Amino acid sequence: MDINPKIFKPYDIRGIYPDEVNEEAAYRIGSAFVVFTGAQKVMVGRDGRVSGPALHTSLIKGIIEQGADVLDIGQASTDMFYYACGSQHLPGIMVTASHNPAEYNGFKLVKEMPDLVSGEDFLGAASSKTFSAASRKGSVRPWDIRNEYRKKVLSLADVSKIPEGLTIVVDPANGMGGVAYDIVYKDIPVTTVKLFFEPDGTFPNHGGDPTKEENRRDLCSRVKAERADLGFAFDTDADRFFAVDSTGVYVPNDFLGALLAKYLIEKHGGGTIVTDALIGWAMRDLVREAGGTVFMSRVGHVFIKREMDKNKALFGVEKSGHYYLPDFYFAESAVGTSLMLLEMLGHCKKSLHELTRPLREKYHMIEPVNFKVSDPDAVLDAVRERYSPSCEIQELDGISIIAENWHANVRKSNTEPVVRLNVEALDGGLMEQKRDELLKLIQG
């Protein structure tokens, strides 16, 4: 059976189970990974998806039949998997489709933390027709990483600064974030109101992508009902973090990332923050005010991590909710980022609502809008032609339009067949005007 080339994405491997991603594909990916990396030992884990156990078993079979040993952490969040790979200096494969719907599954491939293998780069190896049998069969050893993982994540923040008496509503969307949260927060002195903590790969309550408003409604309403201090959301593999303030209002990652970046710059007496090209102007202004530097990168963990390493950055932020931590192998830990937020609140002695209020008054942005278009390149050309006479145009990632009091970005998604629009302005009316103008242009 030939493996479906469609499942090999820019960042990872994903497809619908069992039509595109299945046991045969898992076996081949396991075998090819050993050949591709030359690994003698491979870390393996899986999230809570229904198809996970079957794919996990076939993946391990492919690895050990190529002669490599397996260290198996079992069911885990992505940041638990990253910790396992990083702490043992091992390559690894995680069976996960991140925040995709329940019918999907896939694989994240780690060469050596923080370097992940692109699905596209791995296609050739996985498409090999045959793999020669190894002279010895590898072994499989389970590893319970909970205690070691907990110690590592707790080291990412000064938990002594966490304010006393906080009530936090937490929604991991029946993904792995609830497992990770319970491990790390078991002795943290906060009151937790739990929503949808039980791992359930059918995701019965709502989808696993908190960037979508419909997936935040339960959290926002429960924060208000409980009169909680704030709310946390994780995507279903727990590598992205999102927050809601005490009024039940979602805090854009542009604001949350800017506040955390400013705090880290002040804490360290300077430094560099790496962001994607989509992030709002609050990041630029708050980091500058704190005496730091912002370096912009293309969207995607490969590019962000590379620039963080090159610039010795304190922190990396993507608008989509990825927060990259140098002390965590330049990788994401949603639970670790949540601890950093609580540390910041304790230091500032202000609520998240108080900290974000002036940002909401100054910076007006849309939530990203996706468009399915027949010719994405033609859309980008039209945007460039329309705005280049009057605005600065940057092409680091898609088309960025920069004017004195507004900016926008139009780019092709690397994970979905869409063109994505972001707009921000220093005036609400101007934001709406530019949004409508760009919507009309994109929709032809």
Residue by residue, DSSP assigns 247-259 as TS-EE-HHHHHHH
Token readout for 416 is 């979905």
Token readout for 283 is 């990041």
Residue that terminates a domain, selected from 213, 247, 281? 247
Q: What is the pLDDT of residues 70-121, one digit of tens each?
A: 999 999 999 999 999 999 999 999 999 999 999 999 999 999 999 999 999 9
308 and 293 belong to one structural domain: yes
For residues 81 and 101, what is the distance between their CA atoms, to the nearest angstrom? 21
Residue that terminates a domain, selected from 247, 276, 292? 247
Kindly tell me if the per-residue pLDDT of 169 is higher than 80. Answer: yes
For residue 57, the model assigns a pLDDT of: 99
Q: What is the pLDDT of residues 332-378, one digit of tens each?
A: 999 999 999 999 999 999 999 999 999 999 999 999 999 999 899 99
70 and 133 belong to one structural domain: yes
For residue 414, the model assigns a pLDDT of: 76
Q: What is the pLDDT of residues 277-306, one digit of tens each?
A: 999 999 999 999 999 999 999 999 889 998
Q: What is the pLDDT of residues 183-216, one digit of tens each?
A: 999 999 999 999 999 999 999 999 999 999 999 9
Q: Average of pLDDT values for 130-137?
A: 88
For residue 277, the model assigns a pLDDT of: 96
Task: Look up the domain containing 415 and give its range.
Answer: 364-442
201 and 224 belong to one structural domain: yes
393 and 287 belong to one structural domain: no
59 and 130 belong to one structural domain: yes
281 and 387 belong to one structural domain: no
Q: Which residues are catalytic?
A: 98
For residue 131, the model assigns a pLDDT of: 84
31 and 123 belong to one structural domain: yes
Domain of residue 194, CATH code: 3.40.120.10
* Residue 203 Cα to chain centre, angstroms: 18
319 and 193 belong to one structural domain: no
For residue 130, the model assigns a pLDDT of: 78
Task: Burial-class residue 294 by CB neighbours within 10 Å (0-12, 13-18, 19+).
Answer: buried
Token readout for 117 is 């293998």
348 and 393 belong to one structural domain: no
261 and 383 belong to one structural domain: no
Residue that terminates a domain, selected from 144, 170, 198? 144
Element (H, E) at 124: helix 119-126
Q: How many domains does the chain have?
A: 4
422 and 345 belong to one structural domain: no
Mean pLDDT of the chain: 97
Token readout for 428 is 């609400």
Kindly tell me if the per-residue pLDDT of 440 is higher than 80. Answer: yes
Q: Coil, helix or strand for 369?
A: strand
Q: What is the pLDDT of residues 376-385, one digit of tens each?
A: 999 999 999 9
Kindly tell me if the per-residue pLDDT of 65 is higher than 90. Answer: yes
292 and 377 belong to one structural domain: no
For residue 1, the model assigns a pLDDT of: 63
Domain of residue 432, CATH code: 3.30.310.50
DSSP state of 134: P
Q: What is the pLDDT of residues 26-49, one digit of tens each?
A: 999 999 999 999 999 999 999 999
Q: What is the pLDDT of residues 43-60, one digit of tens each?
A: 999 999 999 999 999 999
* Cα-based distances in Å from 23 to 3, 26, 46, 56, 127: 11, 5, 14, 8, 15
Q: Coil, helix or strand for 116?
A: strand
> Residues of 349-381 as b/e, b for ≥16 C-beta within 10 angstroms?
eebbbebbeebbeebbbbebbeeebeebeebbe
